[in-house]
Amino acid sequence: MNGAGAGGDGPLVYQRWKGNNVFVLQGRFIFGPDARSLYVTMFLIIAPASIFCLFVAKELMNNFSYGLGLPVMISAVVFTAYDLSLLLLTSGRDPGIIPRNAHPPEPEGLDGNAEVGSNQTPPMRLPRVKDVVVNGITVKTKYCDTCMLYRPPRCSHCSICNNCVERFDHHCPWVGQCIGLRNYRFFYMFVFSTTLLCLYVFGFCWVYIVKIRNSEQITIWKAMAKTPASIALLVYTFIAVWFVGGLSVFHLYLMSTNQTTYENFRYRYDQRANPYNRGVVENIKDIFFSAIPASKNNFRARVPVPQEQGLRPRPTNGFMSPNMGRAVGDIEMGRKPVAWDEPRMAADIGDLGAGLGNLLEDKDGRFRSASPDLSRDALAIGGLDDQGSSVMNPGRTSWGVEAGR
């Protein structure tokens, strides 16, 4: 199964996946690298639900008249199973990963700062950003060096999963997966259903306490003392509902204004126009009543034979990616990049070459014979000419080699 071969004997796509994802059941489920956090999330849901069924709902079955106790138990079990299924749909599916390119896109122009010689190919530099018009508003799309593509609008590269994700919202550690175009709907349904489950348990715990008080004619405090499980659940659900309930309200606001969490924290549409906002009703319909796009990845397909055989990449003719030749900050986190000081770097290289020339030449202008392999021609090839200055070959720079990987 893992060996490369012709026809259908090659490895599957998920077996050669370059991201940090974890695959289960032979590529049928895809999780993030922190998928183990799912065990914690499931425990935080199953444990209180089990305590409620054993110590509260079971007692209510005996105390409720008109047969209302059994539906309380069944509803709790079904609601918990529904909540867990939404968790799996959120964390176990492709969130909208854009497949990587095998090669960078073709450069559209020449780098005007390069000196072109008779036998040299000028380096080409892709623009770092491109402008795309969305609903009459210009939106900048960035180039991703890792995936070697221009990200579509609202796409971002997740540093945890190491993938570009369409309509990237955030990476949720509680579900161990990116939240994007194909699972945002299920993420909100999971958060909202968890909020309702907390309110359900919280409400019926109070119902059970009131039942005890009425049946035994005691104070509410003495009734609470008779059911410590209810007290524990009341405290737990009260704390949890502030977290998941607040998250539900926040994402309801994001959906009504057609924003993502990433956009809300980074771009601040309250200071600029939001090109994606089409009104509350249309925004909500886009999330819940539109068709979910098919995945762009077939994880269980065979890897193409030429790709598996590792054919040599196409020549790039001195191609330079948008970020080659300059120090790049963390674009996703908004850190300011440090500018590349080319004149200063050229001066430093020239000083270094002059120092080497003075060190190696004797009074007659010849090189010393300390190393038999060190000659004037060797230094010229390595980057120093007769005067010890730097000779830069734009068509054969290390940046061009790196970009052509």
Q: What is the pLDDT of residues 262-294, one digit of tens each?
A: 999 887 677 778 889 999 999 999 999 999 999
Q: Which of 287, 281, 256 is nearest to 269 (CA)?
A: 256
Per the domain annotation, does 32 fall within a domain? yes
Q: Which helix (H) or strand (E) holds 29?
A: strand 29-31
What sign has the CA pseudo-torsion 375, 380, 384, 386? Answer: positive
Looking at every residue in the chain, the average pLDDT score rounds to: 76
Q: Which amino acid is it at 194?
A: T
Beta strands in 135-225 (DSSP E): 137-144, 149-150, 156-158, 163-165, 170-172, 177-179
In this structure, are residues 114 and 158 in contact, taking their beta carbons and an 8 Å threshold? no
Residue 349 is assigned to a structural domain of this protein: no
Q: Across residues 349-377, what is the average pLDDT?
A: 43
Tens digit of each residue's pLDDT (9 = 90 or more) over 136-180: 788 888 999 999 999 999 999 999 999 999 999 999 999 999 999
Q: Is residue 389 part of a domain?
A: no
Rounded-to-integer distance, Cα 53 and Cα 63, Å: 14
Phi and psi of 249, rounded to 5°? -65, -40
The question of whether 172 is a catalytic residue gets the answer: yes
Alpha carbon 269 to its chain's center: 22
Residue 107 identity:
P
Q: Is residue 123 situated within a structural domain?
A: no
Over residues 373-397, mean pLDDT: 39
Provide mean pLDDT across the span 309-334. Answer: 46
At 356 the pLDDT is 43
Read off the pTM.
0.72
Residue with tokens 């609601």: 79
Overall number of domains in the chain: 1
Q: Which residue has the tokens 């309250």?
A: 270
pLDDT value at residue 46? 97
Per-residue model confidence (pLDDT) at position 68: 72
Q: Give the 3-state secondary structure of residue 361.
A: strand
Instruction: Check whether 303 has a pLDDT greater than 80.
Output: yes
184: domain range? 16-97+177-289
Distance CA 97, CA 165 (A): 5
Q: Within 10 A of 9 (CB to CB), how many other CB atoms are there?
A: 12
Spot the catalytic one: 172, 178, 198, 205: 172
Closest listed residue to residue 95, CA positions, set 275, 302, 307, 297: 297
* 188 is a domain residue: yes
3-class DSSP state for residue 134?
Answer: strand
pLDDT in tens, 168-192: 999 999 999 999 999 999 999 999 9
* 41 occurs within a structural domain: yes
Is the separation of the CB atoms in 216 and 78 below 8 Å?
no
Is 68 among the domain residues? yes
**What is the per-residue pLDDT for 106?**
75
